[in-house]
């Protein structure tokens, strides 16, 4: 094993650290604090518009404003606000509206308990990780907010033949905490930035169009939420990669809440490692993740041995092969993140480039530059 002195002498450690910082610093795509602030500004402005059509909101605004940061991260509030934007644009926003009920309930929760997490109030056991997010322990009911969450699950897994939500057990919570810690040690800046977009975690087994679910991001149906199968927590190194992967998806969802990366063309393209075609938004979301995963892999290879005493060696755990694993990739042609990232980059810089907005082109160029930099230090 290379000594710490040798690692630093060749400059790779410093270059990786700089790349980690740069990926968390871009004002539009990397700086999570700025991205989150823009989302809050959008929602605050939206509420002012909505209050003109929903007068009952007006007295609620000063009551919820001091808690806006927490309120606008709540999955229930986010999905309700996004639906209100759609009704506003369609000129169908009028009383009574679900947003009135949701904000009134949030204001009551703030005054009664001093917290604004409306979705968490629907949990049977309110488990909040030391790392920050909370973990689902959900009991379906006829409560309108529980019904809204149930609809969100159905939209997240529309073709699932099997969907089972797990009540978190102590070993699952412990492994989640370790994986958060590991990711922050490996990529202190861009890893921590991605994690800041995760408000809640749902442990779930689902049979989807592509097979059994490994992990997923909620997107719009269950915002600020990631899903993962409990068995994906077995190896903390790949579990940390999973958290980075899904946190990056949520980060890009927050980026596009205030703008667009792709044109509205409904084109579908062939993806060689998938049996279904992808639309261009899915392409760019995937490229965003794979480019970052190359940095994570390089950082694990370089910094990992210093962490083995705390987390164990990556290959000391049972690991299923998959493209974003830092332990074991599939042996097929596109079985590695680098192969997929190169394919997507070539498409987005080539035939698919006409489907990108100017911001989409900027994002692709930024990620391509990051790929070039990581391949210089980890060929």
Same-domain pairing of 150 and 68:
no
Q: Are residues 244 and 372 in the same domain?
A: yes
41 and 179 together in one domain: no
Same domain, yes or no, for 167 and 265?
A: yes
Asked if residue 154 and residue 70 are part of one domain, the reply reads: no
DSSP string, 168-208: PPHHHHHHHHHHHHHHHHHSTTHHHHHHTT--EEEEEEEEE
What are the Cα distances from residue 357, in Å, to 72, 241, 292, 347, 364?
Answer: 27, 29, 21, 15, 11
| Residue 86, both tokens | 């759609």
Q: What stretch of H or E contains 337?
A: helix 337-349
Cβ-proximal residues to 108 (8 Å cutoff; 6+ apart), any chain: none
Judgement on whether residues 305 and 194 belong to the same structural domain of the protein? yes
Rounded to a whole number of angstroms, the distance between the first and last alpha carbons of the chain is 18
The residue out of 118, 139, 172 marking a domain boundary is 118
Split into its structural domains, the chain has a count of 2
* Token couple for 116: 């604004």
Rounded CA separation 205/161 (Å): 11
Digits of tens for pLDDT over the chain (379 positions)?
444 444 454 688 899 999 999 999 999 999 999 999 999 999 999 999 999 999 999 999 999 999 999 999 999 999 999 999 999 999 999 999 999 999 999 999 999 998 889 999 888 888 999 999 999 998 888 889 989 988 888 888 877 667 788 889 999 999 999 999 999 999 999 999 999 999 999 999 888 766 778 899 988 889 999 999 999 999 999 999 999 999 999 999 999 998 899 999 999 999 999 888 999 999 999 999 999 999 999 999 999 999 999 999 998 988 888 888 888 887 788 889 999 999 999 999 999 999 999 999 999 999 999 999 999 987 6
From 71, 91, 118, give the residue that closes a domain: 118
313 and 246, same domain (yes or no): yes
Shared domain for 113 and 231, answered yes or no, is no
Do 219 and 358 fall into the same domain? Answer: yes
Would you say 273 and 151 are in contact if contact means Cβ atoms under 8 Å apart? no
Show which of 76, 93, 118 is a domain's final residue.
118
Residues 188 and 226 in one domain: yes
Q: What is the extent of the structural domain holding 94?
A: 31-118
Q: How far apart are CA 34 and CA 255, in angstroms?
A: 10
Kindly state whether residues 176 and 188 are assigned to the same domain.
yes
Contacts of residue 27, Cβ cutoff 8 Å, sequence gap at least 6: 34
Residues 184 and 61 in one domain: no
Q: How far apart are CA 87 and CA 165, in angstroms?
A: 31
């Amino acid at each position: 094993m290379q000594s710490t002195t040798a690692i630093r002498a060749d400059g790779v450690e410093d270059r990786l650290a700089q790349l980690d910082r740069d990926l968390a610093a871009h004002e539009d795509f990397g700086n999570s604090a700025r991205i989150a602030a823009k989302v809050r500004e959008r929602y605050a402005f939206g509420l002012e518009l909505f209050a003109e059509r929903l007068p009952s909101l007006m007295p609620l605004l000063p009551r919820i404003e001091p808690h806006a940061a927490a309120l606008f991260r709540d999955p229930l509030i986010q999905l309700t606000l996004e639906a209100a934007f759609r009704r506003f644009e369609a000129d169908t926003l009028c009383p009574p509206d679900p947003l009135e009920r949701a904000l009134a309930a949030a204001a009551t929760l703030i005054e009664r308990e001093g917290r604004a997490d409306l979705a968490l109030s629907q949990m049977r056991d309110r488990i909040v990780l030391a790392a920050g997010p909370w973990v689902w322990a959900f009991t379906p009911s006829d409560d309108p907010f529980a019904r809204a969450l149930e609809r969100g699950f159905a939209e997240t897994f529309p073709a699932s033949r099997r969907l089972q939500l797990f009540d978190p057990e102590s070993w699952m919570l412990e492994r989640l905490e370790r994986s958060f810690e590991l990711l922050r040690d490996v990529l202190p800046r861009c890893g921590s930035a991605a994690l800041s977009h995760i408000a809640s975690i749902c442990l779930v087994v689902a049979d989807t169009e592509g097979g059994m679910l490994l992990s997923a991001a909620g997107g719009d149906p269950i915002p600020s939420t990631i899903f993962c199968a409990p068995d994906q927590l077995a190896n903390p190194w790949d579990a940390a990669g999973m958290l980075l992967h899904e946190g990056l998806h949520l980060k890009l969802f927050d980026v596009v809440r205030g703008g667009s990366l792709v044109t509205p063309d409904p084109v579908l393209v062939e993806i060689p490692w998938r049996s279904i075609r992808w639309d261009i938004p899915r392409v760019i979301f995937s490229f965003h993740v794979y480019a970052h995963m190359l940095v994570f892999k390089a950082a694990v290879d370089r910094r990992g041995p210093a962490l083995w005493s705390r987390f164990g060696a990556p290959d000391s755990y049972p690991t299923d092969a998959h493209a974003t694993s830092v332990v074991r990739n599939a042996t097929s042609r596109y079985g590695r993140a680098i192969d997929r990232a190169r394919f997507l980059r070539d498409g987005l810089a080539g035939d698919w480039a006409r489907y990108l907005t100017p911001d989409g082109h900027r994002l692709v160029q930024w990620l391509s530059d990051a790929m070039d930099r990581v391949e210089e230090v980890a060929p």
